[in-house]
Amino acid sequence: MALRFGGGRLGLAMGLVLFSAEAALAQARLDAASATTVFGQAQALCDADGGRAWGVSLCGPILIADPATRDFIANADGVDAPLEREGAFFTGRLPDSVPIANTAVRWNGRVWTMLMAPLPEDETARSILLMHEAWHRIQDQIGLKAIHADQPQLETEAGRLSLRLELRALSAALAAVETVERRRAVEDALALRAWRHARFPEAQAAEDAMERNEGVAEYTGRLLSRDDQMTSRLAAHLARGDRVRAYARSFAYYTGPPMASFWMRLRRAGRRTGIAARDWGGCWRARWSCRSSPMKRSSRNAGPDTGRRRSRPRKRQGRANRRRASPP
């Protein structure tokens, strides 16, 4: 909304005050001290990993951009065109053709980890974000190209309900103390997912693609954040996911971390191949020594629209419901 000032000198003074405030805010979002903290934190986290998680280092070029002004501060110079140097950092203004977001971006001869100012003040949340986006910068390098897929099944009541129940089962698995209890909770999650994939035949490929992209990135962020309360924070994260109204663009942030946790225990080459080539449900089923894959079991049953096909998922849903606290 445009602001108009009247009153001659008073209006001019008010305009100058607002202009100064906006300039100060932009400066605060991109000051050298904050950049030093962010760049140092990112370096420390990826140094601590030492390339063990993915076989390559997550350290690399980072730029922090202010969406209001398009100004940025970076930890590396450009390749195609030099940037303005200010002390240990490099600054400039992004062209309009470069979208500003928390992402990875190819610009000026480099692939950058782009971070949108202001960053989270909480150190753990900031660590997760840094390593999440750093993973996006190297994902093409490790053969996990970003593929964005629509999720129409999650726009339906049945799709959302099955996903919420799946999240509750995953949360129960995280909270479980006994192996048997954990296995049952994981089987609940897999059965609910299998039911959804049987009901919506295109869902499996679409969900797998999103989980290999945002799901793996979110798990990497949590894994490398060096958070000694990762399991409890992840359980709280899943609980928040239960209250989300629209899942099409966000579901993998919730399901991806627990799903990827299995593959992070496997041999490095096998882990990356599995994430790239196989469905998540099959990966987990192998981990928990279940009798058959969820899709095979669903196809043997009569179908999601018949009593026989629905009977087992409903039993699983009931067990997941008994575990959960009442929704808010």
Asked if 311 and 192 touch (Cβ cutoff 8 Å), the reply is no
Q: Is residue 216 over pLDDT 60?
A: yes
Q: In what order do the strands lie in the sheet with 110-116?
A: 84-86, 89-93, 71-74, 62-65, 110-116, 103-107
pLDDT band at 298 (very low <50, low <70, confident <90, very high): very low
pLDDT band at 231 (very low <50, low <70, confident <90, very high): confident
Q: Is residue 5 over pLDDT 70?
A: no
Give percent of the chain above pLDDT 70: 70
Contacts of 288 (CB under 8 A, 6+ apart): 183, 186, 187
Q: Is residue 11 over pLDDT 70?
A: no
| Structure confidence by residue, pLDDT tens digits, 20-76 | 444 444 444 688 999 999 999 999 999 999 999 999 999 999 999 999 999 999 999
| Structure confidence by residue, pLDDT tens digits, 270-288 | 445 455 545 655 555 555 4
Distance from C-alpha of 108 to C-alpha of 80, rounded to nearest angstrom: 5
H-state helical runs in 114-250: 123-138, 157-175, 179-199, 203-210, 216-223, 230-241
Extended strands (E) in 32-185: 62-65, 71-74, 84-86, 89-93, 103-107, 110-116
pLDDT of residue 25: 44
- Give domain limits for the chain: 29-138, 152-323
HSE value, Cβ hemisphere, 13 Å, CA-based, for 191: 24
Give the three-state DSSP class for 85.
Answer: strand
Q: What is the pairing mode between strands 110-116 and 103-107?
A: antiparallel
Q: Is residue 233 over pLDDT 80?
A: yes
Would you give the end-to-end CA distance of the chain in angstroms? 36
pTM: 0.77
| Structure confidence by residue, pLDDT tens digits, 235-273 | 899 999 989 999 999 999 999 998 776 555 444 444 454
Q: Which residues of 105-141 are buried (b: 16+ CB within 10 A; e: fewer)?
A: bebbebbbbbbbbebeeeebebbbbbbbbbbbbbbee
Beta bridge partners of 64: 73, 115
Give the three-state DSSP class for 46.
Answer: helix
pLDDT of residue 230: 86
pLDDT of residue 260: 72
